[in-house]
Amino acid sequence: MRKPVIAIDGYSSTGKSSISKIIAHELGLVHLDTGALYRGITLFALNNCTTADNQIDLPHLFRRLSEIKLEFKVINNDLVTFLNGIDISKEIRTNKISQTVSLIARQKEIRDFLMETQRAAAKNGGIIMDGRDIGTVILPDADFKFFLTASIEERTKRRFLELQRLGIEADEDTVMKNLTQRDKIDSEREFAPLRKADDAIVIDNSNLSKLETIQLILSHIQTF
């Protein structure tokens, strides 16, 4: 039997990736964190495609997209992101990347470049993909679509704790500003903006634990 394709979209720090990872494990699916793809390209751009005054040179980046190879490997039960053979999973979580990634994700050239990779991963089913435009643009025919949201205060708290766990220095004010700004850019951009698909199930998990959110999602999947 063909395994399902599940799309999980929503705001930053609603727990999309960690929740998707656990659901993938429960249901025997592959998990693809598409935000890591945009973060990986941002890292490449910051390392290789900047102007003399340290701004990202977008035309230069677009010319070099074919040099970028992003891969995921499961290591010790964790999905590790590789950029051209180098483990970048920690580096792509830094504030610098978080502050720059929306500029990269807004570019049509970048979205087009990543579209086929994402669609190809879902071709044979058996995948849960989390991002911003999975249910609307990348996989409009997904079997299940969820849209996660939560209050800005709760999301700030979660992101701050995540950064602390990773040993990355941050303060709550900066984290909140970054989340608010990123959601604004992601929602207002011209191509594939962050938007709930018409047929997505909305889950506000401000007052739900990670486990409760997972159980709620699983209950929808199991009743179909």
- Give the position of tokens 């025919």: 141
CB of 39 to ligand DC, least distance (A): 6
CB of 59 to ligand DC, least distance (A): 20
Nearer to ligand DC among residue 20 and residue 214 (C-beta) = 20
Q: Could you tell me the maximum CA-CA distance found in the chain, to the nearest angstrom?
A: 56
Nearer to ligand DC among residue 101 and residue 203 (C-beta) = 101
Where on the chain is the footprint of ligand DC (CB under 6 A)? 12, 34-35, 38-39, 101-102, 105, 131-134, 182, 186
CB of 117 to ligand DC, least distance (A): 11
Nearer to ligand DC among residue 38 and residue 144 (C-beta) = 38
Nearer to ligand DC among residue 29 and residue 107 (C-beta) = 107
CB of 112 to ligand DC, least distance (A): 13
Structure tokens at 82: 């590789």
Spatial contact of 100 and 91, defined as CB atoms under 8 Å apart: no
10: left (phi over 0), alpha (psi -120 to 50) or beta: left
Distance CA 82, CA 66 (A): 15
SS3 for 34-58, per residue? HHHHHHHHHHHHHHHCECCCCCECH
CB of 223 to ligand DC, least distance (A): 27
Nearer to ligand DC among residue 49 and residue 92 (C-beta) = 92
Please choose, from the candidates 46, 198, 217, the residue with its C-alpha nearest in 3D space to the C-alpha of residue 130: 217
Distance CA 141, CA 67 (A): 31
In terms of Cβ atoms closer than 10 Å to its own Cβ (0-12, 13-18, 19+), residue 24 is buried
Please choose, from the candidates 107, 140, 110, the residue with its C-alpha nearest in 3D space to the C-alpha of residue 122: 140
CB of 52 to ligand DC, least distance (A): 26
Nearer to ligand DC among residue 49 and residue 179 (C-beta) = 179
